[in-house]
């Protein structure tokens, strides 16, 4: 205690920071030394504590043990008006700390006379690379900013008209904030963020329902898009996914549990990975080797879903009505010279009605359970292994209680998970990597611990609005910088040594590439006629009183049902979110790494030979060059001077004007001297530029 | 990034704990494949695999496991092979004649009768799971042995797909060739040489400023992919995909259908150095009308595979190329009301040849009606272990998913060593 006070008094400073005052309590530092004091301020990484004798001491936050550090961070208020600036400050502090640290290491290395010179040079080169990555990159130009936010928020490059519209709006940060707002409220954002969520949640067409019939699972995709459009708070959205019940067309959120139908244990693992960033799959078979989760915990948690049922008694009643009418239908079919059995495809939809009516306690420990705390085949009662205990009796179903526990602010991993994932969505690397394996203790694991805790509070402050959270990130100066010029090494990321001088340079996702090329070729990529939506029509078809309806009506419904969501053509010029999920093998989206939607975040941005061949010679490249819309090709051909035509092509593909030398190269590819010139070769070249493929 | 993480061999903060854990789970207490390989000299000789997959569930009793005289045999007769006492179905005279080169496994068993799950088991060695995707054998081999072909992907799928690279990521992904007669998709430049050259020259100039500014690994990787692909598309290597380079009689010997042509393409690919070629052959899900559909299809593959064996021998590639012919499950010996057979996971047959396999033998036996395995059962994992052992892969080496989970090639299956010579 004495030593600690002495250490602290050495760094006493003047105090003028207003901060949420706390109660007098015990604080412990990383070495276990304790002090009784009251929190009175925090700024620039320094905590101010007032001791009982009135003396105020300041010392670095990182010297406190993790729980006390959290206490400091959680007591700080958040001002949404300055949140973007606050994040920039926290980033800057992280970069500064790292820079000082690296310089010290370098000095120590240079002073070391014992070390082998080759080793020293290797180490110096490594430190130099790390030092480079502590310097923020250049701020983005308006053109580069525009291209980045269109790709990141709208999921595609801006069209020529959109480019002109923004660049002519004058200067200043207000127009940037306005564009961010505009894009977050656009239909393009719904499409792009849906691609992200469908990769995370594995939203796909034709979820296998174990032979239960022809379910139009696209209704679930429609519902997810609706939640994005209305900015449903993330915690409410997740609660819906875990607790929805009913028929697919009434309650499309049941799609989440249907995705893993019959594999409830795997679904539980997936739920933890997706919504808490916690990997517990291994606990299905044995105690987790390095987290505090035992095999028995896994089965206790699975027990929350133990009475999940796929068909309810209400269902039986309905099928009973259908059964009782079958004779009438058969007669109607005979009169119409049709086969009544065809109607079975329609009736099959009623076979799935998600509920909680299965017998209790069906979750049992496996036959080979080997630990002392349970017996093979023992029935499990629901229970959780971290966070607040759950009172099942208070909720209308155990899984509802579980959903509320999962999404509660007090769940230590729920908020961290989503802010970590969204940070990665915006900056390319998460605060904690890998995102699906957040360790129990975050101390020393995050790239910037203070920032992560700040983001957690920010998410609570915006009431889990994904849009508002993203809005803050997109408005930071850090986001609005040129992408990192070099890549952080894996060991830097692994050791939490990358401090975000800027977003990293990312290849466009499969969907961003596809959607960008669609935007160059069609008049309005987000037009409602380019959307594929079935939810309302599906609901209309399936809402029928089977006691009263006629064969003709049923037949009519069947025909409409069979037409629903038919999307056999993978190459329609629609946005990727409106095409079959996933696209089939051999398509453009497949080649560029679209997720197969079977495994969480299974999309890829790695390069392959078929990708290059697609861009060099593929049908999409040719479609862009020969598009007959009012977009790029038409606009360029309408210009009387080749120079103006070249400008249009550059602005449409790269969102910027050519540099003088680039204009010279471009001219070699455009024959003729004006109206009607063929820009195909130039379009081909720009689509194959590395610059087109990356978000700089 | 995913690929890079896999290659991260230094002990990082999490992988250290995971590796320790894996060791604690007893994963290293398995019999060593190296010992097994040492016991059989011809194992580990294969450098290539031609993996012929009969999608839908190939009937065993009408192909490799006939039961003449049994009430379940239906209309399919049996014929003698070059090995006394071993019979094949009457629709397979070509393979019967070359039986000294092939080995048949008649005692395979599958754990599920659903196409999706069973195909996944067969081709990855693992049970399908929504929590992880496992690689096919081509991916496992590339992970263990490194890249074999300098330009082409190590795994090529002709005539349809199967499980992909799984958790191994894009650089292990199979290259799909949908139709062998139409060559490699997108490999033809749509413009003449002079125009192409002008495009490429301009592209090089246009790329310059971006490449100077961004020196990241990803950008470099794409520049390399462009260089390699452009080289490849303008090289003679591309001709490997062009079946028109073959004599008409050769093409005919393999069979004029897409399947026969795919076999021919697989040989050309193997000759150019590709490690794993999967040839798909669908349409085996014969729930009805079997005797109008099966004989032609069976004879098509009998003829095609026999031609492939001859051709590989003529090229001197037979000993280094393992031919595998398999499917997800068999079909019920009992004939249903529609004159077809239904799914039968209890027992089914597969064929192996070349690549160190000792021909002229049958492993395992089913009962008199081909209903179940009577002797020497071979699990799907054992079958995969046999393929892996032919390739010389270490079955005890742990391979980690990006999430840090340890996996073993062939999932602890035991190779059937008596198939090797």
* Residue A562, pLDDT above cutoff 80: yes
- For A178-215, how does the pLDDT look when each residue is reduced to its tens digit (9 = 90+)? 999 999 999 999 999 999 999 999 998 876 554 445 67
pLDDT of residue A209: 52
Nearest residue in A to B226, CA atom: A612
Q: How far is A1 from chain B (nearest CA, A)?
A: 33
pLDDT-based confidence at A19, cuts 50/70/90?
very low
User: Average model confidence (pLDDT) for chain B?
Assistant: 88
pLDDT of residue B270: 97
Interchain contact, A607 vs B170, CB within 8 Å:
yes
Average pLDDT over residues B60-77: 96
Nearest residue in B to A495, CA atom: B13
Interchain contact, A606 vs B171, CB within 8 Å:
yes
Selected for mutation to probe chain A from B193, B216, B282, B404 (highest A CB count within 10 Å) is B216
Average pLDDT over residues B383-405: 91
Size of interface A-B (CB pairs under 8 A): 201
- Chain B residues whose CB is inside 8 A of the A281 CB are 131-132, 403, 405
Average pLDDT over residues B382-399: 96
Find the CB nearest B131 among A281, A439, A611.
A281
Q: How far is A284 from chain B (nearest CA, A)?
A: 12
Interchain contact, A599 vs B132, CB within 8 Å:
yes
Q: In angstroms, what CA-CA distances link A583 with A570, A573, B30, B147, B294?
A: 6, 13, 41, 28, 32
pLDDT-based confidence at B195, cuts 50/70/90?
very high
Interchain contact, B185 vs A686, CB within 8 Å:
no
- For B359-386, how does the pLDDT look when each residue is reduced to its tens digit (9 = 90+)? 999 999 999 999 999 999 999 999 999 9
B92 versus A411: which is more confidently predicted? B92
> What string of H, E and C letters represents the secondary structure of chain B?
CHHHHHHCCCCCHHHHHHHHHHHHCCCCCCCCHHHHHHHCCCCCCCCEEEEEEECCCCCCCCCCCCCCCCCCCCCCCEEECCCCCCEEECCCHHHHHCHHHEEEEEEEECCCCCHHHHHHHHHHCCCCECCECCCCHHHHHHHHHCCCCCCCCCEEEECCCCCCCHHHCHHHCCEEECCHHHCCCCCCCCCCHHHHHHHHHHHHHHHHHHHHHCCCHHHHHHHHHHHHHHHHHCCHHHHHHCHHHCCHHHHHHHCCCHHHHHHHHHHHHHHCCCCEEEEEECCCCCCECHHHHHHHHHHHHHHHHHHHHHHHHHHCCHHHEEEEEEECCEECCCCCCCECCCEECCCEEEEEECCCECCCEEECEECCCCCCEEECCEEHHHHHHHHHHHCCCCCCCEEECCCCCEEEHHHHCCCCHHHEC
Q: Which residues contact A14 (CB under 8 A, 6 or more apart)?
A: none
User: Average model confidence (pLDDT) for chain A?
Assistant: 88
The residue count for chain B:
421
pLDDT of residue B21: 36
pLDDT-based confidence at A636, cuts 50/70/90?
very high
How is residue A298 written in tokens? 């896994």
* Residue A296, pLDDT above cutoff 60: yes
* Residue A103, pLDDT above cutoff 60: yes
CATH second-level architecture of A2-77? Roll (2.30)
Check the CA dihedral B324-B328-B333-B337 and report its sign: negative
pLDDT of residue A350: 84
pLDDT of residue B16: 37
How is residue A95 written in tokens? 């970069």
pLDDT of residue A285: 77
Assign residue A593 a region (left: φ > 0; alpha: ψ between -120 and 50; beta: otherwise): left
Q: In angstroms, what CA-CA distances link A529 with A525, A623, A653?
A: 9, 20, 24
Q: Are A682 and A649 in contact (CB under 8 A)?
A: yes
**A430-444, B137-151, B302-316: lowest mean pLDDT where?**
A430-444
pLDDT of residue A584: 82
pLDDT of residue A291: 72
Average pLDDT over residues A111-138: 92
pLDDT of residue B237: 83
Selected for mutation to probe chain B from A302, A432, A605, A685 (highest B CB count within 10 Å) is A685
- Chain B residues whose CB is inside 8 A of the A661 CB are 205
Tell how far CA A612 is from the center of its chain. 27
ipTM: 0.84
pLDDT-based confidence at B130, cuts 50/70/90?
low
Q: How far is the C-alpha of A546 from the C-alpha of A354, rounded, in Å?
A: 20
- For A155-183, how does the pLDDT look when each residue is reduced to its tens digit (9 = 90+)? 999 999 999 999 998 877 799 999 999 99
**Percent with pLDDT over 70 in chain A:** 94
pLDDT-based confidence at B402, cuts 50/70/90?
confident
Nearest residue in A to B11, CA atom: A491
B227 versus A585: which is more confidently predicted? B227
**A14-18, A215-219, A470-474: lowest mean pLDDT where?**
A14-18
Q: Which residues contact B252 (CB under 8 A, 6 or more apart)?
A: none
- For A230-241, how does the pLDDT look when each residue is reduced to its tens digit (9 = 90+)? 999 999 999 999
Average pLDDT over residues A18-23: 48
Average pLDDT over residues A665-682: 90
Q: Where are the domains of chain B?
A: 2-181+252-419, 184-241
- For A564-605, how does the pLDDT look when each residue is reduced to its tens digit (9 = 90+)? 876 667 778 999 999 999 888 788 999 999 988 878 888 888
pLDDT-based confidence at B108, cuts 50/70/90?
very high
pLDDT-based confidence at B29, cuts 50/70/90?
very low
CATH second-level architecture of B2-181+252-419? 3-Layer(aba) Sandwich (3.40)
pLDDT of residue A290: 66
pLDDT of residue B321: 98
pLDDT-based confidence at B13, cuts 50/70/90?
very low
Average pLDDT over residues B261-288: 95
Interchain contact, A607 vs B25, CB within 8 Å:
no
* Residue B148, pLDDT above cutoff 50: yes
Q: Where are the domains of chain A?
A: 2-77, 83-133+412-504, 136-202+508-525+585-696, 257-303+354-409
pLDDT of residue A567: 61
- Chain B residues whose CB is inside 8 A of the A602 CB are 133
pLDDT of residue A447: 78
A58 versus A207: which is more confidently predicted? A58
**Percent with pLDDT over 90 in chain A:** 55
**A85-99, A287-301, B56-70, B378-392: lowest mean pLDDT where?**
A287-301
Interchain contact, A605 vs B1, CB within 8 Å:
yes
* Residue B8, pLDDT above cutoff 70: no
Average pLDDT over residues B184-197: 91
Find the CB nearest B130 among A266, A606, A693.
A266
* Residue B34, pLDDT above cutoff 70: no
| Rg (chain A; Cα; Å) | 29
pLDDT of residue A443: 63
**A209-213, B185-189, B299-303: lowest mean pLDDT where?**
A209-213
pLDDT of residue B17: 37
Instruction: Give this prediction's pTM.
Output: 0.82
């Amino acid at each position: 205690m004495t030593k600690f006070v002495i250490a602290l008094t050495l760094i006493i400073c003047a105090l003028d920071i207003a901060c949420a005052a706390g109660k007098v309590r015990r604080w412990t530092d990383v070495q276990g030394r304790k002090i009784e004091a009251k929190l009175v301020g925090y700024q620039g990484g320094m905590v101010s504590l007032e001791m009982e004798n009135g003396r105020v001491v300041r010392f670095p936050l990182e010297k406190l043990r993790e729980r006390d550090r959290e206490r400091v961070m959680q007591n700080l208020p958040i001002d949404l008006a300055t949140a973007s600036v606050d994040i920039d400050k926290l980033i800057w502090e992280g970069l500064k700390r790292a820079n000082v640290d690296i310089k010290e290491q370098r000095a120590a290395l240079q002073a070391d006379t014992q070390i082998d010179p080759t080793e020293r040079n290797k180490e110096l080169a490594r430190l130099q690379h790390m030092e480079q990555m502590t310097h923020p990159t250049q701020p983005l130009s308006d053109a580069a900013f525009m291209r980045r936010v269109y790709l990141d928020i709208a999921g595609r490059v801006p069209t020529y008209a959109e480019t002109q519209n923004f660049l002519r709006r004058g200067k200043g940060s207000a127009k940037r904030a306005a564009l961010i707002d505009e894009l977050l409220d656009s239909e393009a954002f719904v499409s792009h963020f849906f691609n992200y969520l469908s990769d995370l949640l594995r939203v796909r067409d034709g979820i296998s329902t174990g032979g239960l019939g022809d379910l139009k699972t696209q209704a679930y995709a429609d519902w997810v898009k609706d939640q994005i459009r209305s900015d449903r708070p993330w915690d409410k959205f997740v609660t819906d996914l875990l607790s929805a019940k009913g028929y697919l067309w009434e309650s499309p959120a049941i799609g989440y549990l249907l995705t893993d139908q019959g594999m409830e244990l795997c679904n539980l693992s997936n739920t933890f990975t997706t919504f808490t960033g916690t990997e517990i799959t291994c606990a299905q078979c044995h105690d987790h080797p390095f987290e505090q989760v035992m095999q028995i915990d896994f089965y206790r948690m699975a027990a929350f879903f133990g009475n999940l049922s796929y068909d309810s008694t209400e269902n039986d009643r309905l099928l009973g009505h259908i059964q009782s009418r079958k004779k009438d239908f058969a007669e109607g079919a005979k009169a119409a010279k049709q086969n009544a059995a065809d109607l079975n495809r329609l009736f099959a939809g009623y076979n799935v009605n998600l509920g909680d009516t299965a017998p209790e306690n069906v979750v049992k420990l496996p036959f080979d359970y080997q630990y002392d705390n349970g017996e093979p085949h023992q029935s499990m009662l629901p229970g959780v292994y971290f966070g607040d205990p759950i009172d099942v009796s208070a909720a209308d179903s155990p899984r509802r209680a579980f959903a509320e526990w999962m999404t509660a602010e007090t769940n230590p991993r729920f908020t961290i998970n989503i802010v970590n994932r969204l940070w990665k969505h915006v900056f390319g690397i998460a605060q904690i990597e890998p995102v699906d394996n957040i360790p129990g203790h975050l101390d020393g694991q995050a790239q910037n611990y203070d920032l992560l805790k700040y983001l957690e509070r920010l998410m609570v402050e915006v009431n889990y609005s994904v849009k508002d959270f993203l809005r803050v990130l997109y408005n930071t100066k850090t986001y609005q910088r040129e992408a990192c010029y070099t890549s952080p090494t894996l060991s830097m990321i692994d050791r939490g040594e990358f401090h975000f001088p800027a977003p990293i340079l990312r290849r466009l996702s499969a969907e961003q590439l596809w959607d960008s090329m669609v935007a160059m070729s069609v008049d309005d990529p987000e037009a409602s006629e380019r959307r594929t939506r079935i939810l309302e029509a599906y609901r209309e078809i399936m809402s029928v009183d089977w006691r009263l309806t006629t064969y003709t009506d049923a037949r009519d419904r069947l025909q409409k049902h069979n037409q629903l969501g038919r999307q056999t053509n993978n190459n329609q010029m629609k946005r990727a979110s409106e095409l079959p999920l996933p696209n089939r093998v051999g398509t453009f989206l497949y080649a560029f790494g679209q997720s197969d939607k079977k495994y969480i975040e299974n999309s890829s941005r790695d390069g392959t030979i078929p990708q290059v061949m697609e861009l060099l010679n593929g049908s999409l490249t040719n479609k862009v060059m020969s598009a007959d819309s009012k977009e790029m090709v038409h606009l360029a051909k309408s210009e009387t001077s080749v120079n103006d035509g070249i400008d249009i092509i550059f602005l449409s593909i790269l969102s910027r004007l050519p540099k003088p030398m680039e204009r010279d190269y471009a001219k070699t590819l455009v024959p003729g001297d004006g109206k009607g010139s063929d820009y195909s070769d130039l379009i081909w070249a720009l689509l194959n530029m590395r610059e087109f493929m990356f978000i700089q | 990034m995913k690929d890079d993480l896999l290659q991260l061999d230094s002990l990082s903060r999490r992988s250290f704990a995971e590796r320790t854990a894996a060791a604690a789970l007893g994963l290293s207490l398995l019999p060593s494949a190296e010992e097994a390989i040492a016991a059989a000299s011809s194992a580990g000789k294969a450098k290539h695999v031609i993996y012929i997959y009969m999608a839908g569930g190939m009937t065993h009793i009408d192909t490799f496991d006939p039961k003449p005289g049994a009430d379940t045999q239906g209309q399919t007769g049996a014929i003698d092979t070059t090995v006394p006492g071993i019979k094949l179905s009457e629709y397979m005279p070509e393979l019967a004649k070359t039986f000294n080169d092939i080995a048949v496994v008649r005692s395979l068993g599958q754990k599920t009768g659903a196409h999706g799950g069973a195909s996944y088991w067969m081709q990855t060695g693992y049970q399908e799971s929504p929590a992880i995707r496992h690689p096919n054998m081509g991916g496992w081999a590339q992970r263990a042995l490194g890249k074999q072909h300098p330009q082409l992907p190590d795994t090529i799928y002709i005539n349809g797909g199967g499980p992909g690279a799984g958790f191994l990521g894009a650089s292990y992904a199979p290259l799909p060739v949908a139709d062998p007669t139409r060559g490699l998709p997108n490999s033809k430049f749509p413009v003449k040489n002079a125009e192409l050259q002008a495009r490429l020259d301009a592209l090089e100039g246009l790329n310059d400023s971006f490449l100077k500014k961004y020196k990241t690994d990803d950008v470099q990787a794409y520049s390399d992919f462009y260089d390699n692909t452009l080289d490849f598309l303008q090289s003679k290597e591309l001709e490997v995909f062009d079946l028109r380079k073959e004599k008409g009689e050769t093409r005919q010997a393999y069979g004029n259908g897409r399947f026969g042509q795919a076999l021919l393409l697989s040989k050309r690919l193997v000759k150019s150095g590709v490690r794993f070629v999967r040839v798909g052959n669908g349409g085996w899900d014969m729930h009805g009308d079997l005797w109008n559909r099966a004989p032609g299809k069976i004879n098509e593959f009998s003829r095609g595979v026999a031609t492939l064996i001859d051709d590989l021998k003529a090229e001197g590639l037979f000993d280094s190329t393992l031919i595998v012919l398999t499917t997800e499950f068999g079909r019920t010996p009992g004939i249903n009301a529609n004159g077809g057979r239904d799914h039968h996971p209890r027992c089914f047959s597969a064929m192996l040849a070349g690549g160190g396999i000792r021909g002229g033998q049958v492993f395992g036996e089913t009962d008199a009606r081909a209903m179940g395995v009577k002797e020497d059962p071979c699990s799907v994992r054992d079958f995969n272990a046999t393929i892996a052992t032919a390739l010389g892969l270490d079955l005890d080496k742990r391979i980690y998913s990006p999430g840090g989970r340890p996996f073993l090639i062939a999932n602890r299956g035991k190779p059937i060593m008596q198939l090797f010579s």
